Amino acid sequence: MNRKLTYAFIYVFLTISAFVSVFPFYWMIVGSTNKSVDVNKGKLTFGNQFLENFYKLSENFDLGQVIWNSIQVSLCVVVFSLIVSSMAGYGFEMFKSRGRDFTYATVLLTMMIPFAALMVPVFRLMTFLNLIDSLWGVILPMIPSVFLIFFFRQNFQQYPKEIIMAARVDGASEPRIFFSIIMPSMKATYAAAAIYAFLTSWNAYLQPLVIIQSQKNRTMALFIANLASGYQPDFGLVMMAVVIATLPTLILFFALQRYFVQGVLGSVKQ
């Protein structure tokens, strides 16, 4: 095949694929401005129901509370998960010993276990801890992230060991080295990890579904699921809720995209 033709074909293929990827986002936003009937009929143009849908959603449901619940869960998971996972990744990478290598291998193996398999015991445990229907019951099990431990360890591999040695010679304590030298200098890694932790917690469905029982403690995902699975749902409202749930993740992604790409690339690079 002629080279120019090959490239023309590649551009067409990529453009169509990119269009298919982005189109549902467009349609979701369009849907939030339309009436239920129009969404159901697949209307492709903007309507004038945007404010109407928003008012209906916030008047009929405790939208503010739902969003606040999701924010609380996500913030706690991001903060705790980053601290705990990066400390572990650092510990595994910088202080090597046979016992810890074995522990690490065991930790990695647990990546294979689906949450559904842990659902019942976690529910029992939360009942025992009296955390059923509480946001902490959602947050705590999401803090240990095997993926993030792995991710941080991979990224710490590239950290120059000489700096740590020099700090030790200067008499800095180990926690001080970690918290005031390493942490501030690994911004890209932490930003990428933060996006990952935010996305997982903000979007989590099964775990809150098992733990949360009352309306007032619902998170965004539970709310949308509820709204969409009811009898004859109002599709305009559903789309509005979907837009509200998706917007923060989009903003975060675009704001931190550079770090995110860097972080992902860093973790797979060896």
Partner 1 sequence: MVAKGFEKIQDKWGWIFISFATIFLALFIFYPLVYSLYLSTFSTKGIIKNFVGLGNYKRLLQDNYFILSIKNIFVILVIQVPIMLFLALIFAFLLNDPKLKLKGVYRTALFLPAVTSLVAYSVVFKMMFSTEGLVNNILINLHIIKEPIRWLLDPFWSKVTLIIAMTWRWTGYNMMLYLAGLQNISQEVYEAAEIDGAGKTAQFFRITIPLLRPIILFTTILSTIGTLQLFDEPMMLAAGVTTGSSVGPGNSLLTPSVYIYNVSFKYVPNFGYASAISYMIVIIAVILSIIQFRVAGEER
Residues 171-190, interacting with partner 1 (CB under 8 A)? 174, 178
Applying CB under 8 A, which part among 45-53, 59-67, 157-165, 202-210 lies near partner 1?
202-210
* Smallest separation, CB 84 to partner 1 (Å): 5
* Smallest separation, CB 201 to partner 1 (Å): 10
* Smallest separation, CB 107 to partner 1 (Å): 6
Q: Which of residues 79-98 bind partner 1 (CB under 8 A)?
A: 83-85, 87-88, 90-92, 94-97
Q: Which of residues 57-76 bind partner 1 (CB under 8 A)?
A: none
Q: Which of residues 250-269 bind partner 1 (CB under 8 A)?
A: 250, 253, 257, 261, 264-265, 267-269
Among 206, 215, 216, 255, binds partner 1 (CB under 8 A): 206
Among 60, 68, 165, 230, binds partner 1 (CB under 8 A): 230
| 22 makes contact with partner 1 (CB under 8 A) | yes
Among 139, 143, 182, 192, binds partner 1 (CB under 8 A): 143
| 119 makes contact with partner 1 (CB under 8 A) | yes
Question: For the chain, what is the radius of gyration of the CA atoms?
Answer: 23
| 246 makes contact with partner 1 (CB under 8 A) | yes
| 237 makes contact with partner 1 (CB under 8 A) | no
CB 258 within 8 A of CB 250: no
* Smallest separation, CB 229 to partner 1 (Å): 3
| 167 makes contact with partner 1 (CB under 8 A) | no
